[in-house]
A and B are shown apart, each in its own frame.
Chain A
Amino acid sequence: MRHNPAMLMLTRRPGERVVVGEDVVIEVVEISGQTVRLGIAAPESLPIYREEIWLAIEEQNRAAAQATVDALPGTPANAPGRTAGEQP
């Protein structure tokens, strides 16, 4: 997800495609001013994100993972723990 200085650069026109591996095809659908519309065909199992959304969620996940044991409301400091199993 990070910008890579050694990133492969390709020039494409609207309607032209790039094939990544066996399963991913990216098409330049339309260019309008500063906006490029891409079409991406990939296996359903492969998640695709706008980078800024991916980064925002990553930041939230990492921040959440900083929590200490006693940081939650109603957390007894040394409560005996158990595995939740099925929650109601």
Chain B
Amino acid sequence: MSALTVIESSRFGPLQVEPEDVIDFPHGLIGLAGRKFTLLDRNPGSGFLWLHSLEDPALALPVVDPRQFFTPFPLVLSDEDRDRIGAPDPAAARLYVTVRAAPDPAEIVVNLRAPIVIWERRGHQILNNAPEAELEARLFSPVG
């Protein structure tokens, strides 16, 4: 089967998603419906992507790889989450955090506590048990 997934996104209009770009979240995202998503690069070069549902045309979350902003990025996983991800080394998997966008960049926060790990087209939102992993971490320092 190589059928395209077609969805009419409320934000981006019609989307056609190749099968290899479909990411399955067996447990979904916490508190949100659905398990099929894809990553959209709508602002190339910025590092921000949209994790877009393929089942709900109005559901999409901005995400970013926290390793672009936090080095080193502290990631402490339970054995259960480690097994669930399926990657031999979690550092080799694609890693994102959800972004709460705001008009003022200094107000933009990301959730370091519940990162999203994608390995071989499977995604999981996991718990980061590192003590410094904040639920609302600022991406940019206020200017001035």
Contact = CB atoms under 8 A, between A and B. Distances in A.
Partners in one complex: yes
A57 B61 contact: no
Interface residues of B, number: 50
Contacts, number: 128
Nearest to A43: B80
A81 B41 contact: yes
A61 B94 contact: no
Interface residue range, chain A: 20 to 34
Nearest to B139: A73
Contact of A44 (B40, B59, B84): B84
A54 B39 contact: no
A84 B60 contact: no
Contacts of B91: none
- Chain A residues touching B, majority SS: loop
A21 interface: no
Given A82-B41, A84-B39, A67 B30 contact: no
Contact of A57 (B15, B49, B125): B125
B48 interface: yes
Contacts of A49: 30, 127
